[in-house]
Amino acid sequence: MRVSGLLEVRGGPIFRGYYRNAKATAEAFTPDGWFKTGDTGVIDTVGNLSLKGRMKDVININGVKFSTSDVQALVEKTLGDHADRLICFPSRAVKSHTEQVTVAYVPKKWVTHGLQTANKKIVEACLSLTGARPNILGLKDTASLPQTTLGKISGARMRSMFEKGQFDDCLEEYKLALRNEGPPPRPGLKPDQAANEDEAQLLEDFREALDTLPSSVTFGPETPVFDIGFTSIDLIRLKRRIDSRLGINVPVIMLIRNPSARGLANALDELVMKQHSIEDNNMQAPQAGSVVYDPIVALRDQGSKTPLWLIHPGVGEVLVFVGLAQQLASDDRPIYALRARGFEPGQSLFASITDMVNIYAGAIQARQPHGPYALAGYSYGGMVAFEVAKELRTRGEEVRFLASFNLPPHIAWRMRQLGWTPCLLHLGLFLGLVEEDWVDSRLKQLGGVEMPREEALHCLRKAADEERWEEIGISEAALGHWADVANGLQSLAVEYEPAGTVETIDVFHAVPLKVAAQSREQWVETHLSKWRDFSESTPRFHEVGGGHYTMLGPDHVVDFADSLVRAMKQRGA
């Protein structure tokens, strides 16, 4: 039986402590005198010890940190004695937004059958623990592994070699061996998993969007995709697959509001029937203002704590909150987001800030009739959250928690800078299509002059990162419409001046855009600190990682969520 764990040592040659550093000594030794090396190891079936890695090695996947040794231990347990050597380490593709588990292993025998099964087991093990698919590198022997004299394989060295392409030939050889062997039998859907063919097909779409699902994951027609690790990019991938299969345009918001196969099947039936009715009767698309609008998107509808209401940034969409909601899952509270009006055919844009605030406050109270309330707004949404909080107070309700994510109270000066072209370019920056320096340079060249619509779209498309554009899967027309919504929101605030007060406010500050401030310190002291004029108590400031457009991104969302949970707890929300 193979046993894995942390390596601790003691004996005559081992030092007894750090010189004049009792704290470090206490951290380095167990109470009974064993020195914690920080290494992980495995004792094989005949008693040999192999060092595997470092205890503190982590893999950061979309902002969630996983212990490399935990991943490796699970993969080793899953493969059993089928691998001669195995190491797990993080790697990151050149244009990737996150790290990925990478597994390099040497099979006991490089045979013409069995590689697919081993490959599938590795995928299932990684998915069950991390929710993400791994890179897998099968090697014929140990000759190419960077081993020390103790037989230890350096994860850092493996990562460096892998990212530099030194294993590319081995990787192609392994892929060829897998193709030659053919895929293992794929488990089909059980008859009782789906009520009809539509649900069964959607379950298959879900599986394909995530490539492979481990057998250990309970996944049926009522399982929300967020529970099995879907990210915003996975949702976009799912949308493109369904669009292609059904020949229709499925709004992403429909996937968010109907995250299970059963709920989505019903929603798609209504969408298809509506589109066919329009086509069969030669009807025109709905006119602006003729479609019922519901701003609320339930990201989590279960929990015993005060619900958290998240208000969209200036781009109007709520996909940016998907990762945050996943990180807040253990906080035991419902999480709702408010999405701007104007995205769907037949929806008019808001006429004023008052119009938007009244609709949002009414929608919130329809779902949560009474306080205490917890509100937070990202960027532009910070202003809206402030106004909604005041409105709820005038209705006699308590707002126990209010947060602004990197927005000062005075924003009119900035809103006046954002015509349609700047809104489009900043939308490209928000989506990760272009870099901030390119946007700043382009806007400086324009000198405040608006570009023709098609020319601006073509300019952004030409400058955009091709791989990211394909990943998002958006058309120029759709991006242009999105910019219409964003510009409509910004234009409402060109004369906005804050007034009145709220009971409390928490301000989460990230590195500002260069056009807003030269440093975080200037941003806080000159701009964000002005919230003190609109709060009846001293505002609380929370420093978070990342920049204005990346503070909720994969690299920072875990720490951001931790800060948010602490802040809400301190406020009693």
Active site residues: 379
H or E stretch covering 517? none
**What helix, strand, coil percent values describe the chain, rounded to 5?**
45, 15, 40
Strands 540-547 and 506-511: parallel
Instruction: Enumerate the β-bridge partners of residue 107.
Output: 83
Q: How far apart are CA 438 and CA 225, in angstroms?
A: 36
Task: Give whole-number Cα distances, 71 to 27, 39, 41, 117, 357, in Å.
Answer: 25, 15, 13, 19, 47
Q: How far apart are CA 459 and CA 551, in angstroms?
A: 27
DSSP string, 25-85: HHHHB-TTS-EEEEEEEEE-TTS-EEEEEETT-EEEETTEEEEHHHHHHHHHHHHGGGEEE
Determine contact, residues 523/486, Cβ cutoff 8 Å: no
Angle, alpha carbons 305-309-315 (nearest 5°): 155
Decide: residue 72, CB within 10 A, 0-12 exposed, 13-18 middle, 19+ buried.
buried
